[in-house]
Amino acid sequence: MGWLVLFFFSSCAFATFLPPNDLYKQDRILGFDQTTMTEGEFNQVIDRVYSAMEPSVRLHGGVLSVSRLWTDSTVNANSMQFFSQWHVNMYGGLARRPEMNQDGFTLVMCHEMGHHLGGFPFVGNFIGRWAASEGQADYFATQVCARKVWAESKAENAKYRFDVAPKVKEKCDESWKNQDDQNLCYRIARGARALAFLLHTLKKDSDPDFSTPDPLIVTKTNTTYPSVQCRMDTYLNGALCGTQFDLSVIPGRTKLGFENGITGEREAAKYSCFKTAESDLGVRPACWFKQGI
């Protein structure tokens, strides 16, 4: 394979939200009344995430484009980069899932933006040399992207205070002292719950629940899809992390590729939560991330 061909494949590799699946067979494209999201709402979610994240893509020399594939039954979302073209595909088949709602769909697009902007740890092979790993894309979705998208929606966020799971309330209140921040944390967790139930439909793992975190401790960072429970834990922990991310930086990314070793980890530690002797609040969960390479 020639260098150019290899480069083409490496740059075009898709970074997706879900493993390949056949849920598209259940999609009833004409049965729009069955669904919880309209095409207008689908577009509105995409517009909001785009507005929040596009300036950062531009800052990194990219041109962000989104394909709004409302009539496509694929139950997924994916991303690619080809030189300065940074692309996201959003499918109606995913938006029409009964488990999905607008907040869950926001987190899906935020996951895709996480592949582009989340940085260390990366997928870690030549094929995915630009893309943050699955766990990192989930973490970025709640630590950075959803917080930015919903930061000013204070009245809407406040509604989530009246219906928050006890474990989520306990954790969010431990991390955030300000009521607006707490409300935002509750809302992010609620969106994450919708996603976890969709993932559960696919994988048939045991029921995901915020009060039963995945006990797995990996000895090496898993750059592919963690378990459903582990992904839910990651979403919650991202929402709990109070360290400020800097969207002018993609931690660990270099001109020609990425740093997936200790240099990358040190970069990431400046902009996200890492375990210390005192606290593990808001860290990337040990069910997929091995801290200290």
DSSP 257: S
- The size of the interface with Zn ion (CB under 5 A), counted in residues, is 5
Closer CB to Zn ion, residue 35 or residue 104? 104
In a 13 Å sphere around the CA of 41, the CA atoms on its Cβ side amount to: 14
- CB of residue 110 to Zn ion, shortest distance in Å: 11
Contact track, Zn ion, 134-173, x by CB under 5 A:
x--x------------------------------------
Residue whose CB is less far from Zn ion, 134 or 214: 134
**Smaller CB distance to Zn ion: residue 16 or 234?**
16
**Contacts with Zn ion in 228-267 (CB under 5 A)?**
none
Nearer to Zn ion (CB atom), residue 137 or residue 194: 137
Q: Give burial (CB, 10 Å; 0-12/13-18/19+) of 142.
A: buried
- Nearest approach in angstroms of CB 284 to Zn ion is 15
Contact code string over 102-141 relative to Zn ion, x by CB under 5 A: --------------------------------x--x----
Tell which phi-psi region holds residue 83, choosing left (phi > 0), alpha (psi between -120 and 50) or beta: left
CA-CA distance, 180 to 255, in Å (whole number)?
Answer: 38
- From the CB of 15, what's the least distance to Zn ion, in Å? 5
Angle at 259 between CA 283 and CA 16, to 5 degrees: 65
- Of 78 and 102, which has the nearer Cβ to Zn ion? 78
Binding segment (CB under 5 A) for Zn ion, from list 12-20, 21-29, 86-94, 273-281 = 12-20
User: Are the C-beta atoms of residues 176 and 182 closer than 8 Å to each other?
Assistant: yes
CB of 246 within 8 A of CB of 204?
A: no
In the bound complex, what is the minimum distance in angstroms from residue 179's beta carbon to Zn ion?
A: 32
| Residues numbered 14-73 forming contacts with Zn ion, rule: CB under 5 A | 15-17
Tell me which amino acid residue 48 is.
Answer: R
Contact status, residue 177 vs residue 240, Cβ threshold 8 Å: no
Nearer to Zn ion, 76 or 102 (CB): 76
Shortest Å, Cβ 115 to Zn ion: 6
CB of 278 to Zn ion, least distance (A): 32
Asked if 119 and 1 touch (Cβ cutoff 8 Å), the reply is no
Instruction: Kindly state the smallest distance separating residue 240's Cβ from Zn ion, in Å.
Output: 21
Taking the least distance from each CB to Zn ion, the nearer of 19 and 98 is: 19
Residue-level length of the chain: 293
Nearer to Zn ion, 97 or 171 (CB): 97
Whether the Cβ atoms of residue 145 and residue 114 lie closer than 8 Å to each other: yes
Q: How many CB atoms lie within 10 A of CB 281?
A: 15
**Nearest distance, CB of residue 192 and Zn ion, angstroms:** 15
Classify 15 as helix, strand or coil.
strand
Q: How far apart are CA 237 and CA 242, in angstroms?
A: 10
- Residues of this chain that interact with Zn ion (CB under 5 A) are 15-17, 134, 137
